[in-house]
Structure 1
């Protein structure tokens, strides 16, 4: 079964956020992903200075435009940040010093760097006054997702009215302790009929028991499984790079930031996640195919 992964920061020793990224490295990562049944992905660039983000987007686009095999695998760019929540827990592995409020000038710089290949932008709705940036991005045909956010219901509703159609890795990028009733997970689940919602199904980012509960609250056609893979994916335990920081992968496969207070991406392939969904949650093949292939492909293809 082939998969479509909307969030890949790197793979098999290759960091898509690396400042020395070569076309050959991107090609190597693509071949490794395809060997693990990912036929299409979005290369993900995370928060940094605007200059660094634009340069990293440009390097991925160079690889897409100069190598057909890369172009057949990397379907576009997912820009995750810098318009995120700077609050502890919500920022996650994104450097707070570079997080900023959404604005049209920076959004246009990022989109222009992608030369038509930016397909998805993740932002925090509370950082986007009146949904102006969301509306502009949506008008460009770009999928806009909420993520790394503590958006209120009103924030989410304004964003959806402005073109927001997705939420990025629900259950993560939030503090380990939140209000027990009114929190970002509950707010998003209350809007699950209007949003495609992605989940990292590695068993670390969300315990499988909790993931099973979340999945029951979301319409089948709105569930998307993403890897949030980093350069460590497919390599096993060790220390690896992600956008200028070190990430440690434990023997059990969990990928931690250096401070060990939060995960920093994922070292588990989508292929392994499907096995967990089958074995631990009893998910059948039809639903797995929908969540890892049909639903994300529909978003990418605008259907």
Structure 2
């Protein structure tokens, strides 16, 4: 990585629109001062923190064999998107393939310690989810199973203890005990891909479940008016709600209601798959088969256009979507993708753009139809500079 030699960054504060100068010393924000304005200043905001990344630009974290080079490549590509921290997400698969995937991620960090701050953990999404069609989503039915603590410990050992979030369904008889054991060792538990009852969700929260994975998705197409597991999770004050903001997974009206109910516990996630960032067209995937990626950024099954085949929009695009449709302002949309997920993981960057916080800063421009990332800085180091030939140093060195 290249050191950010100029120890100040000037731009417009994403919270107020006012011109500021951020002083950085030893990787920490030392001071933020108001300055005179300029019509050419870019915007400044905290780096994005993405709790769900399955793949990006042709790199699939769930398609074996996963290599350390794959993890390094996807990390560098995410820096271009303003992401300064993310959780590689390993989904339902055979026991051996899950073990191989988490081991490859851990090995990549051992080989290149510079990756560590960008990858604060792994998200294990499955296989302890609902076996029912609908809630199971695209996860392979053959590998879905009840929570198994011994198996989880085996995977955690392979991951060098880096599994930080586990998505499960509390409908399994032993789910409450499993949740409590996870929480006791510092692993956060999210409810997702579930058909759990009101009582099972309430018990999961009592045992320490703390979030909902892509709430409103991974569900039956038709639910009872009330009660149902979406309302039940919304009503639990202690649950953070992770939401996909691509404009396709959740209707605008649903996003608006969920954001209003959860307020500062609403989190934006990408849940990107490997086709994210690729050109529109037809593709063949190992999960959905033949799929179509539209110019608008919607990924659907070729033979069933109404069925989504995954998310292909980054957090940057999600933030743009929320504020463009006036579901919220720029500050709230950006906080949903940065400060709030950092707070959920209890990362030092939860302070955001404040004196004393790590200098994880994104410099960007607001354009008519896009947010353009100009520079991504982490702990005072430049990870990405637009138009630069050197990005994040040589991770493969």
1:20, CA displacement in angstroms?
A: 2.2
* TM-score, L = length of structure 1: 0.93
Matched, 1:66 2:111: yes
1:10-34 per-position Cα deviation (integer Å, ceiling 9, x unaligned): 1111001121222222222111111
Match of 2:158 among 97, 113, 116: 113
Partners of 1:85 and 1:149 within 8 A in 2: yes
| Alignment-derived partner of residue 216 in structure 1 | 260
| Alignment-derived partner of residue 237 in structure 1 | 280
| Alignment-derived partner of residue 180 in structure 2 | 135
Q: Tell me: CA distance 1:258–1:115, structure 2 relative to 1, closer, same or farther (3 Å).
A: farther
Partners of 1:93 and 1:262 within 8 A in 2: no
Query: Size of the alignment, in residue pairs?
Result: 301
Task: Give me the CA root mean square deviation.
Answer: 1.9
The structure with the largest alpha-carbon Rg is 2
Cα distance in 1 for partners of 2:288, 2:255 equals 30
Partners of 1:5 and 1:227 within 8 A in 2: yes
Cα distance in 2 for partners of 1:172, 1:275 equals 21
Range with bigger deviation, 137-146 or 278-287: 278-287
Match of 2:298 among 254, 276, 282: 254
Matched, 1:78 2:123: yes
1:145-179 per-position Cα deviation (integer Å, ceiling 9, x unaligned): 00000111210111111111111000100022111
- The structure with the largest helix share of the pair is 1
Cα distance in 1 for partners of 2:91, 2:292 equals 18
| Alignment-derived partner of residue 126 in structure 1 | 171
1:70, CA displacement in angstroms?
A: 2.7
Matched, 1:202 2:256: no
Partners of 1:78 and 1:119 within 8 A in 2: yes
Match of 2:88 among 37, 40, 43: 43
Partners of 1:17 and 1:46 within 8 A in 2: yes
**Structure 2 unmatched runs, 5+:** 1-44, 351-397
Structure-to-structure mapping, 1:174-185, within 5 angstroms: 174-185=219-230
Q: Tell me: CA distance 1:93–1:258, structure 2 relative to 1, closer, same or farther (3 Å).
A: farther
